[in-house]
Amino acid sequence: MINETALTGNLRTPSLTSPLMALSSWNYFPDDNHILDHYCTITDTCFGKDWAGKHCYGNPPFDHDIILQCLQKALTDFDRDPSNTKFMFILPKWVTASWWSLVSRFNVIHEYPAGAKIFSAPRESCYNVANLEPCGEDRVWIEDTKWPVVVLYKDLHTTEQLDIKLLQHVRLGHVGDKPVDHMFAQSAPMPISESQYSGSPVQHCPERCIACRLTKAIRPSVKPAGRELSKELGNLVWSDTCGPFRTSAGGYRWFVLFVDDSTTWICIFFLKLKSDYLKAFQLYLQEVKRLRSTMNLSSEYHMVLHTDGDSTMIAGQTAAFCEEHGIEQRHGSPYLHENQARVERSHRDVQAMARALLLTSRFDVSMWPLATRHAVYILNRVFRKSLGWTSAYYLIRKKHADLSQLRVFGCMAYPFIDPTIREHKLSNRARELRYVGHSEVSSAYLLYDCESGKVVNSGMVTFSERLDMLGKVVTSWDPSAVTPLKTNFMATTLDAPYRDPPPALLETAVLEQGVYLPEDSDEIVAVVKVETSDDLCWVSLSSYLKPGSDRLSLMRDCPSYGSVDAHYPLFTEVRAVTGKGDFEEAMICGRAVGPHAQPYCVALLTNFTIMDLPAGDVRFPPTHTHTCLGVQAAETPTVQGSLLPEGVTEPKCHSQVLTSPDCTEWLNSIQDELEALVQIKKALLMMDEEDIPAGVKLLEMSLVLKVKLDKNRQLRKRKSRICVRGNKQEYGVDYCDTFAPCTQLSSVRIVITLALNLGLMVYHMDVDTAFLNSVLEEDLYVRLPRGLVYGGHKCAKLLKAMYGLKQAGKEWFDASDAFIMGYDSRMQRSDVEPCLYFIRDTTLQVIILAYVDDYLVATNDKSWYDTFVASFHAQYACKDLGVLDLVMGIGVRWGSDTAYLSQFGYISQIINTYGLDDAKPASLPMSPGIALAPADGKGPMPYRALLGQLQWVARCSRPGIMAAVSVLSRFCATYGPEHFVALKQVVRYLKGTREYELVLRTVSVPGGGVTGPS
């Protein structure tokens, strides 16, 4: 028999000696829990007690009705106080049970097969103890389980799985449950079929969806007097504008709704100016004509346009147009929105749904036109109570809209590219876009291209809705904690000081665990709360563990250690690949924010060395595999860090500079950059924040630190660059035109080849802080990067076009072009290459190739070059780097009639980055006869990153590997382990031939002309 606890059912919190400890070593509950000794049974009316704000352990009788009641009670009480409520339940694994769908609201932390020993009882309470297996000193195991058993856990950080009903809710733009039920009742085509949808006890999707709670809150309103709807479409139209919103990519700031009174059909139009209302109304009249034709209504009708009295809608050109066409105008009382109830309700529904769509898709708020348009599309097609539980679409077309093709707004979409429009046979067969809706006039999907900012139509699309990530977004109590395109972590607010490096600590247990994002850092770190001689403070886990194994034991004794999904992946014990592929036990101490070559900071548990590792060198245990990673760590390739000279670091921010071994050199570099901006280039006018004009938006600045190496990978200089974050600029306000041409790699080789054949010497010139030489036309204000202060000021007015501004490239190109073309009257610009300038007469030959701030000058007159550099330097500070030896990372070596191009240093970096220093060199870039088939394209292998690096090598200096790289490029979306092995063979081939050079030489051709590389 199962013990009495399992027979009667209970709800209690376990002590450290409870039967729970026989299941696992979890210790979820603090010893000071105020209901630690409380115990109640089903007969004690435990369902009448308040479970909110408590840490509860439940082992109900294995009865369907009682389990359903228990889980529903837990979920209801949890929503009342999620921060202080935790639940753990032991239940049978009955996936066909009516209550099983509720399990998706919990985390399954363990699963036991039938026959497992999981229940124990006090020895003195059992009879025939001699036949029972001991379990500790005073307990014995009782009868094995008859069914598979699962252990469920839920707290504030639990990630819910997206069940069928919640997925339907999100695909339908977050509509309520009642419209969905009525649409099923009338057999309307739905995104998820009724057979999949029915049978689940989970209800009230809007209450479970945090996005709905945050975006659909409404205020009480006065109900308007009841009235009958108009009889025909177009007889009474309600209209109102809404805005201004943040300027969209198309320049829109307003939208206007037209709501037909008889059908509640909504039409939306977007406006750049509110005064464009009349244009939108004229387009709406065309839409009404089309809809009336669909309904077989007469083209002659009388329209009443009801607005809120805004002057743009009742006066001026709009009034004249309405009078000319016999349209009657009415308007409500000022500020009494109840007079506009029909359109105000539509406004509320559209904006609420659009907010929810933006929140779950993680689109920027400037994408509001796409979200509102999709919201209108859905609202016109879902059932409404005001229409007698039918839809506006049905009233017009006399059939239900087909919603089976709806997908989650913002999900990844991969449209198939027809062979007739591909560039060549090796081009990709699909593109990576994002789903943003459907066309009103065809069956095509609307897809958003994040790179071009354009919306395209496509009919052949494959979707990836990422339900694991969507569940975290939709049901998270802090939705801002999940940003799929950027970072999966949110730092907590600490209730005590954070100190790094830590002070002298007392050797006491860790009181609490947490995560923290230090100021000016791009790494979220694991932190622990400990006691010092003076007070309590937070310190980083890596600092805390350094003294040794005693600290590890103290940390593991923390009450919250091992809490499921609380701080994942921080505090997770993993296996780390070190040395020559050996595995060592380690613990995750930090995680980089956003994409990073070495995202994990780990502490080795053998010697407590702290090190940064790439994702491929970290092996997560199966019980800790988490959806936010998107990878299975079991079969990941080794990817090592970048190759830098010994003692040289590349900090990511100012705070990391202060702790780097070459701190002094970096601080000097940063100070030089600031001095150049303020004193030399006069690009910044420093001021206090209160001196900035009211209403002006401050642009943020960031600090970029890079180590510059020469062609042999030796330290050349430490370069600091202070840039503006131009992503916050508004078109038409902060910038207008941005186009600036840039030279191509082929142009560099052509210039070198021409110089060889014409007997010219190629020199290299570099302009210091080139973008700062062009005067900025707009008035922009900025805030210095965190940690930087100049003369006591943290803010400034921009006087020059700094790096990061959207218009900076164009401004510099215009200034550079004006100087070069005006320097010598004989100077001409190429009609084919806008960055190429030349002079060619009987005595002087000059070729100038501009590559942003680098200039290649080939000439037969050294004195002309010296004069040109001196004149250029007089206007824009520049450096003469002498004869060309390095450009675009390509080393150049000159012979008498030849030039040798090599990428020895870059190839060495690739070899080191991917851990192939000790690999055996390959004799061929690809094995003869190799047959590669498409795979699933999944896994953490950095296939595309390595492929891109090899494509650059092939283009620049090693055309011999181009065939192999081209073949492997076919599998960008369908790669597998065998493809990555083939790609690494190309690297191994380069390893054995890294000293090879591409030779450019003079070649005589009959009839004149020049041939390229040989």
Domain count, the chain: 6
Structure token pair of residue 738: 């941005």
Question: In the chain, pLDDT over 90 holds for what percent of residues?
Answer: 12
Residue 920 covered by a domain: yes
Please indicate, yes or no, whether residues 284 and 368 belong to a single structural domain of this protein: yes
Closest by Cα among 581, 586, 578 to 602: 586
Please indicate, yes or no, whether residues 990 and 904 belong to a single structural domain of this protein: yes
Across 175-184, 384-393, 475-484, the highest mean pLDDT is recorded for: 384-393
The answer, yes or no, to whether residue 983 has pLDDT greater than 80, is yes
3-state helix, strand, coil in the chain (%, to 5): 30, 25, 45
Residues in Cβ contact with 986 at an 8 Å cutoff, skipping those fewer than 6 apart: 922, 925, 926, 950, 961, 964, 965, 968
- CATH code where residue 260 lies: 3.30.420.10
Average pLDDT over residues 225-243: 75
> Lowest-pLDDT range, 167-171, 295-299, 837-841, 864-868?
167-171
Closest by Cα among 152, 200, 153 to 180: 200
Please provide the DSSP assignment of 667-697 as one string: HHHHHHHHHIIIIIS--EEEE-GGGSPTTPP
- pLDDT tens profile 388-426: 888 888 888 888 888 888 888 888 888 887 777 777 777
The answer, yes or no, to whether residue 564 has pLDDT greater than 60, is no
Q: Which of 117, 135, 158 is the last residue of a domain?
A: 158
The answer, yes or no, to whether residue 162 has pLDDT greater than 70, is no
- pLDDT tens profile 125-138: 777 777 788 887 78
pLDDT confidence band for 847 (50 / 70 / 90): very high
**Which is more confident, 698 or 476?**
698
111 near 149, Cβ under 8 Å?
A: yes
Return the pLDDT at 481. 37
- pLDDT tens profile 425-435: 777 778 888 89
Residue 508 covered by a domain: yes
The answer, yes or no, to whether residue 642 has pLDDT greater than 50, is no
Return the pLDDT at 100. 79
Across 180-194, 520-534, 902-916, the highest mean pLDDT is recorded for: 902-916
Residue 227 covered by a domain: no
Q: Which domain holds residue 601?
A: 486-624
The answer, yes or no, to whether residue 631 has pLDDT greater than 70, is no
Return the pLDDT at 194. 62
889 near 906, Cβ under 8 Å?
A: yes
The answer, yes or no, to whether residue 814 has pLDDT greater than 80, is yes
Please indicate, yes or no, whether residues 881 and 952 belong to a single structural domain of this protein: no
The answer, yes or no, to whether residue 365 has pLDDT greater than 90, is no
Per-residue b or e along 372-395, where b marks 16 or more CB atoms closer than 10 Å to that residue's CB: bbbbbbbbbbbbbeeeeebbbbbb
The whole-angstrom separation of Cα 703 and Cα 782 is 13
Please indicate, yes or no, whether residues 588 and 693 belong to a single structural domain of this protein: no
Return the pLDDT at 837. 93
DSSP state of 913: H
DSSP state of 664: H
Calculate Rg over the CA atoms of the chain: 34
> How many helices (H) does the chain have, and how many strands (E)?
25, 41
* Mean pLDDT for all residues in the chain: 77
Return the pLDDT at 1007. 41
Q: Which of 158, 178, 207 is the last residue of a domain?
A: 158
Please indicate, yes or no, whether residues 732 and 675 belong to a single structural domain of this protein: yes
Structure token pair of residue 220: 């009480």
Please indicate, yes or no, whether residues 818 and 680 belong to a single structural domain of this protein: yes
- pLDDT tens profile 913-922: 888 888 899 9
Please indicate, yes or no, whether residues 591 and 724 belong to a single structural domain of this protein: no
Write the CA distances from 886 to 869, 893, 902, integer angstroms. 19, 9, 10
955 near 745, Cβ under 8 Å?
A: yes
Residue 600's CB: how many other CB atoms inside 10 A? 24
Angle between helices 943-956 and 904-913 (to 10 degrees): 170
Please indicate, yes or no, whether residues 912 and 883 belong to a single structural domain of this protein: no
Return the pLDDT at 1004. 58
172 near 409, Cβ under 8 Å?
A: no
Average pLDDT over residues 630-640: 32
Average pLDDT over residues 32-48: 54
pLDDT confidence band for 644 (50 / 70 / 90): low
> Lowest-pLDDT range, 104-108, 229-233, 760-764, 790-794?
229-233
**Which is more confident, 753 or 243?**
753
Residue 526 pairs in a beta bridge with 515
Q: Which of 840, 859, 888 is the last residue of a domain?
A: 888
The answer, yes or no, to whether residue 306 has pLDDT greater than 50, is yes
pLDDT confidence band for 91 (50 / 70 / 90): confident
Average pLDDT over residues 732-749: 84
919 near 995, Cβ under 8 Å?
A: no
pLDDT confidence band for 752 (50 / 70 / 90): very high
Return the pLDDT at 400. 87
Please indicate, yes or no, whether residues 137 and 73 belong to a single structural domain of this protein: yes
Residue 280 covered by a domain: yes
Write the CA distances from 644 to 274, 711, 885, 913, integer angstroms. 56, 13, 21, 11
**Which is more confident, 665 or 903?**
903
The answer, yes or no, to whether residue 961 has pLDDT greater than 90, is yes
Residues in Cβ contact with 516 at an 8 Å cutoff, skipping those fewer than 6 apart: 491, 492, 494, 498, 524, 525, 527, 538, 540
Residue 35 covered by a domain: yes
Return the pLDDT at 42. 54
Structure token pair of residue 477: 């109590």
Average pLDDT over residues 440-462: 83
**Which is more confident, 126 or 789?**
789
Please indicate, yes or no, whether residues 702 and 732 belong to a single structural domain of this protein: yes
Instruction: Return the half-sphere exposure (C-beta side, CA atoms, 13 A cut-off) of residue 774.
Output: 24
Average pLDDT over residues 213-240: 66
Return the pLDDT at 1006. 44
**Which is more confident, 367 or 849?**
849
Return the pLDDT at 509. 67
The answer, yes or no, to whether residue 478 has pLDDT greater than 70, is no
Please indicate, yes or no, whether residues 690 and 794 belong to a single structural domain of this protein: yes
The answer, yes or no, to whether residue 985 has pLDDT greater than 60, is yes
Across 210-224, 674-688, 932-946, 979-993, the highest mean pLDDT is recorded for: 979-993
> Lowest-pLDDT range, 87-101, 466-480, 847-861, 961-975?
466-480
Cis previous bond, 569, omega within 30: yes
Across 463-477, 907-921, 999-1013, the highest mean pLDDT is recorded for: 907-921
Average pLDDT over residues 190-204: 59
Residue 43 covered by a domain: yes
Structure token pair of residue 249: 């990519």
Please indicate, yes or no, whether residues 882 and 917 belong to a single structural domain of this protein: no
The whole-angstrom separation of Cα 244 and Cα 515 is 38
The answer, yes or no, to whether residue 800 has pLDDT greater than 60, is yes
**Which is more confident, 894 or 162?**
894
666 near 657, Cβ under 8 Å?
A: yes
Residue 478 covered by a domain: no
Report the Cα–Cα distance between both ends of the chain, in Å, rounded: 86
Average pLDDT over residues 297-325: 82
Write the CA distances from 209 to 68, 141, 371, integer angstroms. 21, 42, 18
3-class state of residue 380 by DSSP:
coil
Return the pLDDT at 16. 29
The answer, yes or no, to whether residue 144 has pLDDT greater than 80, is no
Question: Strand ranges (DSSP E) for 366-484?
Answer: 412-415, 433-438, 445-449, 454-458, 461-464
The answer, yes or no, to whether residue 661 has pLDDT greater than 70, is no
